Amino acid sequence: MIAVIQRVSSASVTIDGKINGEIGTGFLVLLGITHLDTVEDMEWLGKKIVGLRVFGDSEGKMNLDLKSVDGDILLISQFTLHASTKKGNRPSFIEAAKADIAVPLYEEMIRFLTKETGKPIQCGQFGADMKVALLNDGPVTIIIDSKRRE
């Protein structure tokens, strides 16, 4: 499971011309799920996201986590994070999980993050054509892969 976490001042996702989710200060999380991912991967990654200390403290140092700044999460499923570009110029998405594996893990991540943050998680819609807008703060962008824990 791969997450691209962007610290944002604001972010939103629009589907069919209608805003489906939006946040102010917090994280825009692009989540890629592979066919090898498990609930253990989801929980490990979810804890890393919530505990990530990348918000500025009173001295301007990246030292505060999401809860410390009363931040929100906008979670977007993104199978293209598992693109393979080894051959040619057209990416292969063979490692990306099919819906029967990805949807339950995506929905479990929403529940897990809601529990961990104590706040509702804004999200996109699995498989939809989404338009994501964000104001990246910093910019700060962190990539975490549950398969590369060492």
Told to judge if 79 belongs to the known catalytic residues of this protein, a careful annotator would answer yes
Q: Which candidate in 27, 79, 117, 122 is catalytic?
A: 79
Q: Is 5 helix (H, G, I), strand (E, B) or coil?
A: strand
Please count the other Cβ atoms lying within 10 Å of the Cβ belonging to residue 100.
8
- Burial bucket for residue 67 (CB in 10 Å: 0-12, 13-18, 19+): middle
Active-site pick, 78, 112, 117, 122 = 78
Return d(Cα 42, Cα 114) in angstroms, integer.
13
Residues 112 and 108: their CA atoms lie apart, in Å, by 6
Is 78 an active-site residue? yes
Give the residue numbers marked as catalytic: 78-80
